[in-house]
Amino acid sequence: MSVWPAWEVQDHESAVSWFGVRLDFPDGGQVDVLAVVAAGCVAIEEVRAQPPLSLDDLAALADWIEEPLLEACGAAPEPSHEPAPAPAPRADPDWPGGLEGWRLVAQEYLAAQRQGIDPVSAVMRMTGCSRRTSLKLIGGARDIGLLTPRHAQR
C-alpha cells in the first residue's frame, strides 16, 4: 500500500487532509482511493478498482486504509471511552415513519455536524438507507422545521 498527500485545508482550529492511496494485490488487482482525514476520522471520496470490488470488500475498504492514512497525516486514532457503534443495519422495515422518523434523522444529523463528520453519511449509517433516501429523509426533517433551511429563500 502506498499513501501520498494530495492537498490540505486548514483553519485556526483544525485541518482537513486529502490523500491518494493505492493498494496493489499479488493477482494484479489494483485499488486507487481518494480519502479525507479530518478530526481523526477517515472518509472515502472516490474509489477506482480493477477488477471491481465486491460490496463486502468496498464496505471493508475504510478499515483497510484507516491506520496507514492516520499515520501518514500524523494523527493517531483517538481512544474512545464509548463502545464502538454496531454496524448499521440495512434499510429497516420497522423504521418509524412520519414525525418520529424525521425527529430521529434530525437528531443524528445535528449530532454529526457537532462532531465534524458528514451528516448525510451519519444518517445513512443510522437508517441503513441509500444516500438518495437519506437525503429525502433529511429534506422531510427540513420541511417540517426540525432542521434549518438548506438555502436562503428569495
Taking only the tens place, the pLDDT of each residue in 84-105 is 343 344 345 566 777 888 889 9
Q: What gap in Å lies between CA 147 and CA 109, rounded to an integer? A: 9
Statement to judge: residues 66 and 106 lie in one domain: no
Q: Which residue is listed with cell 437508517? A: 127
Alpha helices, H only, the chain? 55-72, 98-115, 119-127, 131-143
Is the dihedral angle over the CA atoms 24, 28, 31, 32 positive or is it negative?
positive
- Contacts for 131 with CB less than 8 Å, ≥ 6 apart: 120, 124
Instruction: Report angle CA 134, 44, 57 to the nearest 5 degrees.
Output: 90
Statement to judge: residues 87 and 149 lie in one domain: yes
Statement to judge: residues 84 and 68 lie in one domain: no
Given this model, what pLDDT does residue 114 score?
A: 92
Name the grid cell of 26. 499479488
Give pLDDT < 70 ranges for the chain: 40, 73-95, 151-154
Given this model, what pLDDT does residue 135 score?
A: 85
**Domain final residue pick, 51, 72, 93:** 72
Statement to judge: residues 100 and 147 lie in one domain: yes
Q: What gap in Å lies between CA 116 and CA 154, rounded to an integer? A: 29
Statement to judge: residues 96 and 151 lie in one domain: yes
Alpha helices, H only, 46-97? 55-72
Given this model, what pLDDT does residue 154 score?
A: 54
**Rg for the chain, CA atoms, rounded:** 18
Given this model, what pLDDT does residue 74 score?
A: 66
Q: What gap in Å lies between CA 131 and CA 148, rounded to an integer? A: 20
**Domain final residue pick, 50, 72, 94:** 72
Statement to judge: residues 66 and 118 lie in one domain: no
Statement to judge: residues 10 and 35 lie in one domain: yes
Provide the residue range defining the domain that includes 98: 80-154
Q: At what angle do helices 98-115 and 119-127 cross, to 10 degrees?
A: 130
Statement to judge: residues 96 and 154 lie in one domain: yes
